[in-house]
Amino acid sequence: MKYLIFDFNGTIVNDLPLVIQIMTESLKSKNIDLTKYSIEYLKQTGVRNFMKEIKISKIQLLWLYKNIKSKIKDHQLDCPLVDNFKKQLPKLSKKYKLLVFSSNTVETINKYLVRNNIDKYFSGVYEDNSYFGKEIGLNKIIKKLKINKNDVYYLGDESRDIIAAHKAGVKSVAVTWGFEGNVPLSSVSPDFLINKPEELLSLKF
């Protein structure tokens, strides 16, 4: 059995507008006007490169990450699913075991899945609580479930997701409908790169 492990933010839930809103408000205190940049520019520049461009230090980036994470909790459940994602789940869940792995809490993710009536399609939800790379959490899941790494595919919308998959020794699927576009995602050499949820069913695993 093949396992598809999904990132949550940007991959399953369309919370990019919310994150941009929170980032815009947060960066005002640093005298950075995020409204000068289009969403497409931000997506194609990539998270890390954009932070370098606006000269955000690693300490400031950690502060920004924590700030976004704490504020997004209040509105996460109200964000919509990615367009057409739900339609793919019945067929996907018959072919593969579906899991969620995210820095969000298990409680928040489960509430969201239930609210959107898609919890029945997922076999498990796991929280990434490591600051040292998502590959650590991926390896914990693989060890716990006793999965062959050749049967694991990690799907994410950021370069760091793809890099984590490489480091964990599993296949990667980059999705361009979330936080990063095809330019930054292609640069980290994903095994697959797709532009819409419908393409999930045509992937040859």
* Whether the predicted pLDDT of 169 surpasses 80: yes
Regarding pTM above 0.85, the answer is yes
**Does residue 50 or residue 161 have the better pLDDT?**
161
CA 191/CA 154 separation, integer angstroms:
10
pLDDT of residue 32: 83
Given a contact cutoff of 8 angstroms between Cβ atoms, the answer to whether 134 and 161 are in contact is yes
CA dihedral 192, 197, 199, 205 (to 10 degrees): 50
**Mean pLDDT of all residues in 45-62:** 81
CA 40/CA 42 separation, integer angstroms:
5
Q: What are 15's two structure tokens? A: 């919370």
* Whether the predicted pLDDT of 70 surpasses 80: no
CA dihedral 14, 130, 22, 115 (to 10 degrees): 40
Pick the CATH number of 3-13+82-202 from 3.20.20.150, 3.30.390.10, 1.10.3720.10, 3.40.50.1000: 3.40.50.1000
**Does residue 23 or residue 182 have the better pLDDT?**
182
**Does residue 73 or residue 127 have the better pLDDT?**
127
Given a contact cutoff of 8 angstroms between Cβ atoms, the answer to whether 50 and 20 are in contact is no
| pLDDT class of 131 with cuts at 50, 70, 90 | low
- End-to-end Cα spacing for the chain: 11
Given a contact cutoff of 8 angstroms between Cβ atoms, the answer to whether 35 and 27 are in contact is no
| Residue 58, Cβ density class (10 Å: 0-12 exposed, 13-18 middle, ≥19 buried) | exposed
| pLDDT class of 150 with cuts at 50, 70, 90 | very high
Instruction: Please name the helix (run of DSSP H) or strand (run of DSSP E) that holds residue 152, with its range, or none.
Output: strand 152-156
| pLDDT class of 132 with cuts at 50, 70, 90 | low
